[in-house]
């Protein structure tokens, strides 16, 4: 009987989560950020888990209106320099955060270790701050992004059949990002991916500094262990779990 009740509660909770709709304070960032490049990694299999993540039913960058407006201002700042923004992740449903936590605890699943955390024991991902039980992404106030040189050839794309080097390797050996060379790939769990890492070239340092300064001018704060992660203080509070769906 207890097992049946537990199953019923689980089903009701799941139905409730899927029934949630996007709150009025959220918008599709692409509708206000001119020329925003979308590369939503959790919508596909090109990520550290190796498959589409729960709640990602469409490749959309959803953010609170203040965060999207600030991002639009950053994009305008860049346009004058022949640069643009590419987003890897924006709003992240709470169910996706929970999936990451489950994945991190499954120490037997190390299929993507050679690509995303080659020098880190998976059991240390929580302790080192690469995986967390909660995420600011779920409030709609955080975004993972990089810079794109609009004058460069950014056509290279991920090919699952190719044997790429790990995320810390030379840019010509690791999986293509279609962006400037920041020294590591996106979602690389390694000290080299820390924003202030010393193990990168002077040119990679200039790109990181440019990104941090650009985002700071519009109120965003960087997470020191991920050069790509920025949050806008005060732009979100509650963590949400509505799925990312196609626009109606």
**Which class for 38: exposed (0-12), middle (13-18), buried (19 or more C-beta within 10 A)?**
middle
pLDDT tens for 113-139 read 999 999 999 999 999 999 999 999 999
pLDDT for the residue numbered 7: 38
DSSP class of 62: E
What are the beta bridge partners of residue 92? none
pLDDT for the residue numbered 71: 98
pLDDT at 48 exceeding the cut of 80: yes
**Domain-embedded: residue 215:** yes
**Domain-embedded: residue 1:** no
Provide the 10 A C-beta neighbour count for residue 113. 16
Q: How many domains does the chain have?
A: 1
Q: State the chain's mean pLDDT as an integer.
A: 92
Q: Would residue 226 show up in a list of annotated catalytic residues for this protein?
A: yes
- List 57, 133, 177, 226, catalytic entry: 226
As a whole-number percent, the residues of the chain with pLDDT over 70 amount to 91
**Domain-embedded: residue 214:** yes
**Domain-embedded: residue 248:** no
DSSP class of 142: E
**Domain-embedded: residue 245:** no
What range does the domain containing 108 cover?
Answer: 24-231
Query: What are phi and psi for residue 207, nearest 5 degrees?
Result: -65, -45
pLDDT at 237 exceeding the cut of 90: no
**Domain-embedded: residue 133:** yes
CATH number for 198: 3.30.1380.10
**Domain-embedded: residue 159:** yes
**Domain-embedded: residue 41:** yes
pLDDT for the residue numbered 21: 87
User: pTM of the full predicted structure?
Assistant: 0.90
């Amino acid at each position: 009987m207890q097992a049946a009740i537990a199953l019923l509660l689980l089903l009701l909770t799941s139905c409730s989560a899927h029934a949630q709709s996007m709150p009025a304070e959220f918008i599709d960032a692409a509708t206000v950020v001119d020329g925003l490049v979308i590369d939503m990694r959790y919508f596909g299999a090109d990520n550290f888990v190796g498959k589409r993540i729960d709640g990602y039913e469409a490749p959309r960058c959803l953010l609170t209106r203040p965060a999207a407006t600030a991002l639009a201002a950053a994009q305008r700042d860049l346009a004058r320099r022949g640069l643009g923004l590419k987003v890897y992740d924006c709003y992240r449903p709470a169910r996706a955060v929970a999936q990451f936590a489950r994945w991190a605890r499954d120490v037997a699943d190390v299929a993507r270790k050679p690509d995303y955390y080659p020098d880190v024991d998976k059991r240390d991902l929580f302790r080192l701050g690469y995986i967390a039980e909660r995420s600011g992404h779920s409030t709609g106030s955080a975004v993972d992004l990089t810079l794109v040189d609009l004058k460069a050839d950014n056509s290279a794309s991920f090919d699952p059949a190719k044997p790429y080097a790990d995320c810390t390797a030379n840019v010509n050996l690791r999986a293509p990002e279609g962006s400037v060379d920041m020294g590591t790939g996106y979602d690389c769990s390694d000290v080299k991916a820390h924003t202030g890492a010393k193990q990168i070239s002077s040119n990679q340092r200039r790109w990181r500094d440019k990104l941090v300064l650009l985002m700071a001018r519009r109120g965003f704060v960087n997470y020191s262990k991920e050069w790509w992660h920025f949050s806008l203080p005060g732009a979100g509070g509650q963590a949400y779990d509505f799925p990312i769906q196609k626009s109606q």
